Amino acid sequence: MSAARTWGEKGGARRATVLGVAAIMALAVAPARATVVDRGHIDGSELGVADNLCGIDVIRDSTFSGIFRDRVDKASDGQAFLERLNVSHRDAFTNPLNGKSMSIEGKEVINELKATHVTGNVYEFVTIEAGQPFVVRDGDGNVVLRDRGVIRRRILFDTLGDSAPGGVLLDEEILGVSGPHPGFDQTEAEFCAMVEGLIG
């Protein structure tokens, strides 16, 4: 499955890390040969991009890097893949009208722990995300908001029966949240009020 590649999209606060998430999701992996089917390093950047954050025109500099390992679940007849992803990402936003800046960054490990067959090509995956996935800093580098701890998810996924990582996300449920995650619970309006206060 590689449900880890569907991680972290929650409201406006999480959309700020689109570059890193999109690059991770686009990463192709090889078909199963043994228990470990693929592993590697990912990295990339996008610099000086005109963007818009909460209605404010900004210049965005984004970077990400990480390592991944994909394993085939032996009990799935080569249909369910478990991924471990260790990733760091950073998006820096500068308002060109006033020179104010802020950043959103994170470091986390996303680990798919197990896959349970439901029916046909559909599997239920249990995933944990551990670390500091969402940290907002002001232009001086001071922490304004920080999520940290562990989020445990249940993900229902159609593997498409093609013996390759990937497929279709059918449902997702948060099973538990440990540690403070103030950004996780932010509404779009609360996130944008924070952004306005930092760079508006």
Phi, psi of 46 (to 5 degrees): -145, 115
Distances (CA, A) of 85 to 6, 99, 110, 119, 183: 12, 35, 5, 27, 21
Torsion of CA 19, 151, 174, 187, to 10 degrees: -60
Burial group, residue 189, by CB count within 10 angstroms (0-12, 13-18, 19+): exposed
Q: Return the pLDDT at 11.
A: 38
Taking residues 38-65, report their average pLDDT.
Answer: 96
- Residue 51's H or E segment, with its range, is strand 36-53
Taking residues 79-93, report their average pLDDT.
Answer: 95
* 154-180 tens-digit pLDDT: 999 999 999 888 899 999 999 999 999
Phi, psi of 78 (to 5 degrees): 75, 20
Burial group, residue 111, by CB count within 10 angstroms (0-12, 13-18, 19+): middle
For residue 17, pLDDT beyond 90: no
The tokens describing 113, both together, are: 């722990």
Q: Return the pLDDT at 192.
A: 96
Select, from the ranges 19-23, 91-95, 162-166, the one with the highest average predicted confidence (pLDDT).
91-95
Taking residues 27-39, report their average pLDDT.
Answer: 57
d(CA 120, CA 52): 42
Q: Return the pLDDT at 29.
A: 39
Is the distance from CB of 47 to CB of 59 less than 8 angstroms? no
| Reported pTM | 0.76
Q: Return the pLDDT at 159.
A: 92
For residue 186, pLDDT beyond 60: yes
Taking residues 187-197, report their average pLDDT.
Answer: 96
Q: Return the pLDDT at 1.
A: 45
